[in-house]
Homo-oligomer: A and B are copies of this chain.
Amino acid sequence: MAVLTAQHDDFPRWYQDVLTKAKLAENGPARGTMVIRPNGYAIWERMQDELDRRIKAAGARNAYFPLLMPMSFFEREAEHVEGFSPELAVVTHGGGKELTEPLAIRPTSETVIGEYMAKWVDSYRDLPLLLNQWANVVRWETRPRIFLRTTEFLWQEGHTAHAGEDDARAYARRILHDVYQDFMRNVLAVPVIIGGKTVRERFAGAVNTMTCEGIMRDGKALQMGTSHELGQRFSRAFNISYLAADGTRKLCWTTSWGSSTRMLGGLIMCHGDDFGLVLPPAVAPVQAAVVAVKETDGSVTRAAATLTDELAALGVRAQADDDVEQGFGWRATDWDLQGVPIRVEIGPRDLAQNTAVVYRRDTREKTAVAVASVADTVHGLTSRMQEEMLNAATARRDAFITDCTTLDDVRDVARTGFARVPWATVGVSGEERLAVDGLTVRCLQAADGTLPDGDDDAGAIAYVARAY
């Protein structure tokens, strides 16, 4: 009896089933909002922890800017207001009165942060100014889907100001590589494709948007994090300027970059299977569940507690499950659903032979291990499994990618996977035609697979797919 809809029967339904059955999240009372339940939020906390460490290592400091800002702020940068106006939530009443100027709930914070950067930056000595904030944002969604597109979501948004274009560009790339790509590959085990966005797909107000694109198990793309060069657009709009060493006043160059709870959706859809979520050990709140089988004399429960302590001593996030009033099968199914990477199962018969069963969630393999070796075995497995999950995801990703030479090929391939094609073959007009069929250029790469130098790189390669 399957707990979930099978992926190959109905992938979106499978996704919704996992959210519900693993108690990760559900819809909020207002349309498009979500409730992140403790099982889901614990994963988000692990993500925040790992990302925050990388953001700080890149020199950025956390701050907090207001949720509400005057509508006039958006109007200062033309492309930005055009891009975000249709998505704004507007507060018109506060404290029982109608407001004289309506306030917008931030959909992103370039404008309000720009206002303060202008106050804080005086001379070249104040640069670069590297800020990040963890916050909620609101963007009105017409077709909401939990984690992937919600009216309110949680994210981090970095905002930096630099003295020169080169420094801004280098920093935006550093964030893409050292923060996002590193986190996604090595923590989430999602082998993202990185590249530049086409002009059509850029962030509203950016001169260059770089992206991390994940490939889900249904062959669709998920944009999982973006880093933008904003040129001098926001500096000009908010007058973020500095006194240079030569005594002249110059405009700064700014960047912004963000990643959100959407990554939870990517994690689920990149690794999940018909038994539920499958978490890479690095991001799993519980890495190993030590599950005791029902017994009569308490010896199994004691052995499970000892094993849990041994695992914790090795730095493994372990949890004992001695809830023996619930059937063993029911509990095993539930640990599977929740995607806990490793399960140690121990019962009276195992204990009599001085063994336990070690189960890994990704391959569903079971191995009998001497009790004395369980902790070391599980500890070793956490890093091996992390690596093997990345390898398996990379193999799945590569199997979804097909080289194409014509737009017709692209359209055919991108229905179920990723088409890789010379950008010259697609071009701006081809991109528009693909859009009619719901296909988008996910990113452009230089011929050698690195980031393209600009949007007019003649030898660039395009990745085309359907996207969430």
Q: How far is the CB of A141 from chain B (nearest CB, A)?
A: 8
Known contacts A90-B94, A136-B136: A41-B64 contact under CB 8 Å: yes
Count of residues in A whose CB is under 8 Å from the partner chain: 53
Q: Which residues of B contact A94 (CB under 8 A)?
A: 88-90, 140, 151
Most chain B CB within 10 A, of A70, A105, A152, A154, is at A105
Other-chain contact of A66, B34, B65, B103 (Cβ < 8 Å): B34
Q: Which residues of B contact A152 (CB under 8 A)?
A: 66-68
Q: How far is it, in angstroms, between the C-alpha of A140 and the C-alpha of B69 when the chains are bound?
A: 14
Q: Does B66 lie within 8 Å of A45, measured CB to CB?
A: no
- Which residue on chain B has the smallest CB distance to residue A65? B35
From 70 to 127 in chain A, residues with beta carbon under 8 angstroms from any chain B beta carbon are: 70, 73, 85-96, 102-103, 105, 112, 115-116
Other-chain contact of A90, B67, B93, B116, B138 (Cβ < 8 Å): B93
Identical copies in the complex: 2
Most chain B CB within 10 A, of A35, A42, A45, A87, is at A35
Q: Does A64 lie within 8 Å of B89, measured CB to CB?
A: no
Q: Does A73 lie within 8 Å of B35, measured CB to CB?
A: no
Q: Which residues of B contact A88 (CB under 8 A)?
A: 93-96
Q: Does B30 lie within 8 Å of A68, measured CB to CB?
A: yes
Q: Which residues of B contact A112 (CB under 8 A)?
A: 28-29
| Interface flag for A38 (CB, 8 Å) | yes
Q: How far is the CB of A149 from chain B (nearest CB, A)?
A: 13
Q: How far is it, in angstroms, between the C-alpha of A73 and the C-alpha of B34 when the chains are bound?
A: 16
- Which residue on chain B has the smallest CB distance to residue A52? B45
Interface string of A55-69 (1 = CB under 8 A from B): 000000111111111
Q: How far is it, in angstroms, between the C-alpha of A26 and the C-alpha of B28 when the chains are bound?
A: 33
Q: How far is the CB of A338 from chain B (nearest CB, A)?
A: 13
| Interface flag for A142 (CB, 8 Å) | yes
Q: Does A61 lie within 8 Å of B89, measured CB to CB?
A: no
Q: How far is the CB of A125 from chain B (nearest CB, A)?
A: 9
Q: How far is it, in angstroms, between the C-alpha of A105 and the C-alpha of B136 when the chains are bound?
A: 12
Q: Does B28 lie within 8 Å of A65, measured CB to CB?
A: yes
Q: Which residues of B contact A105 (CB under 8 A)?
A: 67, 91, 105
In order of increasing CB-CB distance, the 10 nearest A-B pairs are A95-B140, A38-B61, A33-B66, A28-B66, A36-B64, A90-B93, A89-B94, A92-B92, A94-B140, A30-B68
Having A86-B95, A94-B151, one finds 11 other A-B pairs with CB under 8 Å, namely A33-B67, A33-B68, A38-B63, A41-B62, A42-B62, A45-B62, A67-B67, A68-B89, A94-B140, A95-B142, A135-B136
Chain A residues in contact with chain B, CB under 8 A?
26, 28-30, 33-38, 41-42, 44-45, 61-70, 73, 85-96, 102-103, 105, 112, 115-116, 131, 135-136, 138, 140-142, 151-152, 154
5 contacts between A and B (CB under 8 A): A29-B115, A44-B64, A66-B152, A89-B94, A92-B92
